[in-house]
A and B are shown apart, each in its own frame.
Chain A
């Protein structure tokens, strides 16, 4: 068998040993940075085809969440309102503003508005809005202060670990049903009081805490 490597490859070997060491070191340094990169896009406002300010509609106009997200209590999806819902008011109000032209165009040409998704759970996750809203999980618990956002961003990472934080200890997050839509709800300042309230609510709403962390609860 002839010699494959020329004599100067000895140097190459030496250097590649050092190079490999440096590469591993760089990797070790880079990994924590990569892990901290916001790949999940938490807190990054999402541009929309219509410049819809949630803060104005919730705080100034005082619209109930369910006026637009009408199926949040009955269906798995909260649902994005139809153009018709916008037109309830905006057939009369602020018709001439540039922000509204896309809505009017949608209405006149009968073409839907394609909104950009902010929260996108993987297909293998089953999530039902109604069951959360009807059992004392507040809108703001997951979506944050929507009433202060001009553009909506994802407020929580929506990772499995984040889901489980609450599914393991629901009593730390629950609030009375009457407060679910309350955007400025504050939990009892004393953690003991929240625990007592939460435990009471778990019992009152018949929440089966054992089944909350079953795989099949979310992965059906």
Chain B
């Protein structure tokens, strides 16, 4: 594994194991020997694995963190009631065809492959063809404009559903 493996002192390892009780686990003889060379090598090669060996989180810290996380998890339930000063902002001048809460459908056409394709455009929470907001209509191949959202329903005869 490393050069450190070459100078393993088995007598020292045995001596160390002699005064151990209960289960003790190691992943390699190097780890068991725990020489300074091995530590250096470990820091260089596997910094992440080295950290828990140096100052591993002990049982008490673990339980502390566990307890704190469980206690603080309750904070998620703390919130102001959803009243929090939300505003309702209606139109100043409402377009006649718009029903708030309903999408607006209208028939239009896009050129696709050089031909005009009849489509049913659906405008959700956005201005329909009006003096103020005119939705940009792009060919079906391009990503639809973000606002208003358009859904292309190809049809041979353009049909308009009135909202």
Chain A residues proximal to chain B, CB less than 8 Å = 39-41, 71, 74-77, 79-85, 106-107, 110-117, 120-122
Contacts and interface: CB of A to CB of B under 8 A. Distances in A.
B86 A82 contact: no
Nearest to A38: B81
A71 B94 CA distance: 12
Contact of A77 (B84, B86, B89, B100): B100
B87 interface: yes
Contacts of A106: 92
A81 B90 contact: yes
A46 to B, nearest CB: 9
Interface of B: 81-94, 99-102
27 contacts: A39-B81, A41-B81, A41-B83, A71-B99, A71-B102, A75-B102, A77-B100, A79-B101, A80-B90, A82-B91, A82-B92, A82-B93, A83-B93, A84-B93, A110-B93, A111-B92, A112-B89, A112-B91, A113-B89, A113-B90, A115-B87, A115-B90, A116-B85, A116-B86, A116-B87, A116-B88, A120-B82
B94 A84 contact: yes
Contacts of B88: 80, 114-117
Nearest to A83: B92
Given A71-B99, A74-B102, A79-B100, A110 B92 contact: yes
Main secondary structure of the interface of A (DSSP, over half): loop
B92 A122 contact: no
A110 B132 CA distance: 12
A111 B91 CA distance: 8
Interface centre among B81, B87, B89, B92 (most CB of A within 10 A): B92
A139 B92 CA distance: 25
